[in-house]
Amino acid sequence: MSQYRIFNSEDAIAYAREAAQLGPDMILQGAEIGDGNLNQVFRVCQLGEATGWIVKQALPYIRCIGESWPLTRDRARIEAEILLQHGQSCPEFTVAVLHQDASLSAMLLEDLSELQVWRQALLNGQHFADAPVQLGKYLAQVHFHSSDFCLDYQAQRAAQTQFANPKLMSISEAVYFVDPFCDHERNNVAPGIRNDAERLWADQPLKIRVAKLKHDFRCKGQALLHGDLHTGSVMVAAGKLKVIDAEFGGYGPMGFDVGVLIANLLLNLCSQPSSSAQRQRIKDVQAFWQSFNRQFLLLASQTADPALAEPSYIAAFLRQVWQDALGYAGCEMIRRTLGVAHVADIDNIADADQKIVSQRHALALGRTLIMHADQLNDAQLEKIALACRPQC
Ligand code: SR1
Ligand code: MG
């Protein structure tokens, strides 16, 4: 089985049987369970068992758009390599890749059935108190181990080449920094916020800040990013967390991953009518950032590079990561409101007026984060986030 074809359940079962070396007598069942924008995902398990294996396969196009947006299948190989690399840096919080087949654009992953997608948990009103701290540790470890705090010049340059992901990262460039800031045909702008979008498209000071963030996204290759660290890429259970879906990964600014995660917590905040739920999301953001900051400081203080070991430099470096993160968080909030890919937190709001309030809140807070990234610390976030909520 090495000729590419778009898997059905039987193909996924056959691939899992071969990849996991399951005997011919084992009775397997499989079903497609994917709800992501890009790929097919199957769960394969032994008859009567709830947990088995996950088969993820890249299609030759973007699933949520269709064949009109073709996309390299090689993304599956790149994703598997990134997950394996992140798994070496942080095995506790990275999904395990058990096998990969580049010609089938498929990989076999551990089944995380006992966990749930964090976005869904947030939508259900469930609170996983450890998740922000665990994610901060995860991100500090994967960023540190791929950065120049850990790798020498040649090793880091080699890694930048090995994990080059130009097709997917150029999509991110377009959908984060270009489309949402102009009247692009790929955008999905709700009629009720068309005026807000048009004001934003004419906002020159904002566009100058976004140009800098776009430029840095391509040129500031600090660490091997996850590249799409929203709450749908995180699986949670009591005391347990796993990060999945790294197909948009590659070298870029650390603040990008930090900012995307912060933005998705803030998008959830914008979707919440209750101020106590809103405050809890701010606490989550603060716990995440403080955990990342603490863990990165600890790792960087043990750097083998004498030039980078200076504690006040590491602190200044982290202040810059925070500033970058706020800018990228702002872009993520705006693109998830005006761009091609929205978030369920806001899109699923049934009340039309409530939905418009949440969308305007996301746009206003996103803009504020981009424009004031160099003046805000994490303690000021609550005041800023709540002040950006429009009156009904
Ligand atoms: C057209 S791709 C849109 C988005 O889907 C993925 O989940 C990523 O977030 C990407 O930006
Ligand atoms: Mg994804």
Q: Cα of 33 to ligand 2 centre, how many Å?
A: 14
Residues present in the chain in total = 392
Q: Cα of 168 to ligand 1 centre, how many Å?
A: 9
- Write down the pLDDT at residue 37: 87
- Write down the pLDDT at residue 361: 98
- Write down the pLDDT at residue 350: 98
Percent of the chain with pLDDT strictly greater than 70: 99
Q: Angle, nearest 10°, between helix axes 204-219 and 166-173? A: 170
- Write down the pLDDT at residue 36: 84
**How does residue 343 score in pLDDT terms, banded at 50, 70 and 90?**
very high
- Write down the pLDDT at residue 268: 98
Confidence check: pLDDT of 35 > 90: no
Average of pLDDT values for 342-362? 98
Average of pLDDT values for 15-29? 96
Quick check: CB of 299 below 6 Å from ligand 1?
no
Phi and psi based region of residue 23 (left: phi greater than 0; alpha: psi -120 to 50; beta: remaining):
beta
Q: Which ligand is nearest to the CA of 187?
A: 1
pTM: 0.97
User: What is the position in ligand 1's atom list of the atom closest to the CA of 186?
Assistant: 1
Tell me the per-residue pLDDT of 94-119, one tens digit each, with 9 for 90 and over.
999 999 999 999 999 999 999 999 99
Q: Which ligand is nearest to the CA of 68?
A: 1
Nearest to 225 by CA among 281, 273, 176, 183: 176
- Return residues with CB closer than 5 A to ligand 2 (ion): 36, 228, 245
CB atoms near residue 337 (< 10 Å): 29
Report phi then psi at 220, rounded to 5.
-100, 75
Quick check: CB of 101 below 6 Å from ligand 1?
no
CATH 3.90.1200.10 domain locations along the chain: 116-387
Report phi then psi at 125, rounded to 5.
80, 15
Nearest to 66 by CA among 42, 37, 31: 37
CATH 3.30.200.20 domain locations along the chain: 9-110
- Write down the pLDDT at residue 50: 87
What lies within 8 Å, CB to CB, of 13 at 6+ separation is 28, 29, 30, 44
Q: Cα of 330 to ligand 1 centre, how many Å?
A: 16
DSSP for 306-359, written as a single string: TTT--HHHHHHHHHHHHHHHHHHHHHHHHHHHHSS---HHHHT--SHHHHHHHH
- Write down the pLDDT at residue 93: 98
Average pLDDT across the chain, whole number: 97
User: What is the position in ligand 1's atom list of the atom closest to the CA of 62?
Assistant: 1
Tell me the per-residue pLDDT of 276-316, one tens digit each, with 9 for 90 and over.
999 999 999 999 999 999 999 999 999 999 999 999 999 99
**How does residue 257 score in pLDDT terms, banded at 50, 70 and 90?**
very high
Quick check: CB of 175 below 6 Å from ligand 1?
yes
Confidence check: pLDDT of 392 > 70: no
Quick check: CB of 174 below 6 Å from ligand 1?
no
Report the alpha-carbon distance of residue 13 to residue 139 in Å, rounded.
33
User: What homologous superfamily is domain 9-110 in, according to CATH?
Assistant: Phosphorylase Kinase; domain 1 (3.30.200.20)
Report phi then psi at 2, rounded to 5.
-135, -5
CATH number of this structure's domain 116-387: 3.90.1200.10
Q: Are 69 and 62 in contact (CB under 8 A)?
A: yes
Q: Cα of 193 to ligand 2 centre, how many Å?
A: 26
Tell me the per-residue pLDDT of 307-334, one tens digit each, with 9 for 90 and over.
999 999 999 999 999 999 999 999 999 9
Nearest alpha carbon, ligand 1 atom 3? 341
